[in-house]
Structure 1
Amino acid sequence: MSDNPLLSTWSTPFGLPPFADIRPADYVAAFDTAMAEARAEIDAIAGQADAPTFDNTIRALETSGEALTRVSRTFYNLTGAHTNPELQAIEREMAPKLARHGSETLLNPKLAARVFALWDQRAGLDLTPEQARVLERYQLMFTRAGAGLDAAAKTRMAEISQRLATLGTQFAQNVLKDESDYQLVLETEADRAGLPDFLLAAAAAAAKERGLDGKHVITLSRSSIEPFLQFSTNRALREEAFKAWSARGEAEGPTDNRGVIAETLALRAERARLLGYPSYAAYKLDDAMARTPDAVRALLTRVWGPAVERAREEAEKLAEVARAEGNNAAIAPWDWRHYAEKVRKRDHDLDETELKPYLRLDKIIEAAFDTATRLFGLRFEEKHGLPVYHPDVRVFEVSDARGNHVGLFLGDYFARPSKRSGAWMSAFRAQHKLDGEVRPIIVNVMNFSKGADDEPALLTFDDARTLFHEFGHGLHGLLSDVTYPMISGTSVARDFVELPSQLYEHWLSQPEVLSRFAVHYKTGEPMPKALLDKVLGARNFNQGFATVEYTACALIDLALHEMPDPSGLDVTAYEASALKDLGMPSEITMRHRLPHFAHAFAGEGYSSGYYSYMWSEVMDADAFSAFEETGNVFDPATAEKLYRHIYSAGGRQDPDAAYKAFRGRGPDINALLEKRGLKAA
Structure 2
Amino acid sequence: MKLHLLLFTTLLIGCSSAQKPEKLQMSADNPFNVSLNEPFDYAKVTGDHIESYVDAMIHNANIDFEKLKSTDKVSFESTFGAYDEISNSLGKAYSNAHMMYWVSTDSITRAKGLEGSQKIDSLFTDISSDRAIYNKFQAFVESEEGKTIQGPKKMLIERTLEEFAQSGVNLNPKDLATFKKLSLEIKELSAKFTTNMNTAQESLVLNEQEVDGLPENFKDTYRLEDGSYEIPVINATSSQIMNNATSSDVRKAYIVKKSNIAADQNLPILDSLISKRYQLAQIMGYKSYAEYNLQSKMAKTPKRVWNFLDNLVVESKSKALQEIDLLKSVRNEDKHTPDDKSSINPWDMGYYINQHLKIKYDVDYEKMRDYLPMDACLEGMMALYQELLGLEFKKVQNPSVWHEDVTMYEVYENDQLKGRFYLDLYPRPNKETWFYAVPLTSGRTFTNGQEVPVAMLLGNFNKPTENLPSLLSFGELNTLFHEFGHIVDCMSYNGDYSSLAYPKADFVEAMSQIFENWVDDYDIISAFAKHYETGDAFPKTLFESKLHAKNVFSGLSAQGTIRYALYDMNLYDSYNPNDPLNTDKLWQDLDAKMGTLNGYIEGTHPQASWIHINTHPVYTYGYLWSEVYAQDMFTAFKQNGLRDTETGMRYRQLILANGGQRDMVSAVEEFLGRPSNNKAYIENLGLK
Query: How far off is 1:95 after superposition?
Result: 5.9
d(CA) in 2 for partners of 1:434 and 1:127? 20
Query: How far off is 1:321 after superposition?
Result: 2.5
Gapped regions of structure 2 (runs ≥ 5): 1-24
Query: How far off is 1:91 after superposition?
Result: 5.4
In the other structure, the counterpart of 1:80 is: 102
Contact 1:95/1:169 (<8 A) preserved: no
d(CA) in 2 for partners of 1:528 and 1:505? 20
Q: Does 1:408 align with 2:427?
A: no
d(CA) in 2 for partners of 1:428 and 1:125? 34
d(CA) in 1 for partners of 2:329 and 2:575? 45
SS at 2:184 equivalent: helix
Query: How far off is 1:217 after superposition?
Result: 2.8
Q: 1:155 aligns with which of 177, 188, 194?
A: 177
Query: How far off is 1:86 after superposition?
Result: 2.6
d(CA) in 1 for partners of 2:560 and 2:336? 24
Query: How far off is 1:636 after superposition?
Result: 3.5
d(CA) in 2 for partners of 1:483 and 1:146? 27
Query: How far off is 1:201 after superposition?
Result: 3.7
Contact 1:203/1:224 (<8 A) preserved: no
Q: Report matched runs for 1:219-618 at 5 Å.
A: 219-250=232-263, 252=264, 255=265, 257-326=266-335, 328=337, 330-400=343-413, 402-435=414-447, 436-488=449-501, 491-563=502-574, 565-566=576-577, 568-587=580-599, 593-601=606-614, 603=615, 606-618=616-628
d(CA) in 2 for partners of 1:213 and 1:299? 54
In the other structure, the counterpart of 1:182 is: 202
In the other structure, the counterpart of 2:22 is: none
Contact 1:5/1:21 (<8 A) preserved: no
Query: How far off is 1:128 after superposition?
Result: 4.6
Q: Counterpart of 1:190 in structure 2: which amino acid?
A: Q
Contact 1:358/1:518 (<8 A) preserved: yes
d(CA) in 2 for partners of 1:160 and 1:666? 42
| Of 165-174 and 661-670, the range deviating more from structure 2 | 661-670
Query: How far off is 1:409 after superposition?
Result: 2.1
| Of 641-650 and 495-504, the range deviating more from structure 2 | 641-650
Percent identity between matched residues is 24
In the other structure, the counterpart of 1:23 is: 46
Q: Report matched runs for 1:124-203 at 5 Å.
A: 124-178=146-200, 181-186=201-206, 188-203=207-222
d(CA) in 2 for partners of 1:583 and 1:664? 40
Q: Does 1:61 align with 2:83?
A: yes
In the other structure, the counterpart of 1:668 is: 677
Contact 1:398/1:408 (<8 A) preserved: yes
| Of 530-539 and 388-397, the range deviating more from structure 2 | 530-539
Contact 1:229/1:337 (<8 A) preserved: yes
Query: How far off is 1:332 after superposition?
Result: 1.1
Q: For the aligned residues, what is the CA RMSD? A: 2.5
Q: Does 1:106 align with 2:128?
A: yes
Q: Counterpart of 1:504 in structure 2: which amino acid?
A: F
Contact 2:506/2:626 (<8 A) preserved: yes
SS at 1:358 equivalent: coil
Q: Report matched runs for 1:115-130 at 5 Å.
A: 115-121=137-143, 124-130=146-152
Taking a change above 3 Å as real, the CA distance of residues 415 and 537 of structure 1, as seen in their structure-2 partners, is same
Q: Counterpart of 2:534 in structure 1: which amino acid?
A: T
d(CA) in 2 for partners of 1:302 and 1:81? 40
Taking a change above 3 Å as real, the CA distance of residues 478 and 51 of structure 1, as seen in their structure-2 partners, is same
d(CA) in 1 for partners of 2:536 and 2:144? 62
| Of 261-270 and 23-32, the range deviating more from structure 2 | 23-32
d(CA) in 1 for partners of 2:574 and 2:498? 35
d(CA) in 2 for partners of 1:259 and 1:396? 42
Q: Does 1:642 align with 2:651?
A: yes
SS at 2:409 equivalent: strand
Q: Does 1:46 align with 2:69?
A: yes
Taking a change above 3 Å as real, the CA distance of residues 396 and 216 of structure 1, as seen in their structure-2 partners, is farther
Taking a change above 3 Å as real, the CA distance of residues 592 and 355 of structure 1, as seen in their structure-2 partners, is farther
Taking a change above 3 Å as real, the CA distance of residues 521 and 138 of structure 1, as seen in their structure-2 partners, is same
Query: How far off is 1:326 after superposition?
Result: 2.4
SS at 1:410 equivalent: strand
Q: Does 1:9 align with 2:33?
A: yes
Query: How far off is 1:678 after superposition?
Result: 1.2
Gapped regions of structure 1 (runs ≥ 5): none
d(CA) in 1 for partners of 2:228 and 2:667? 53
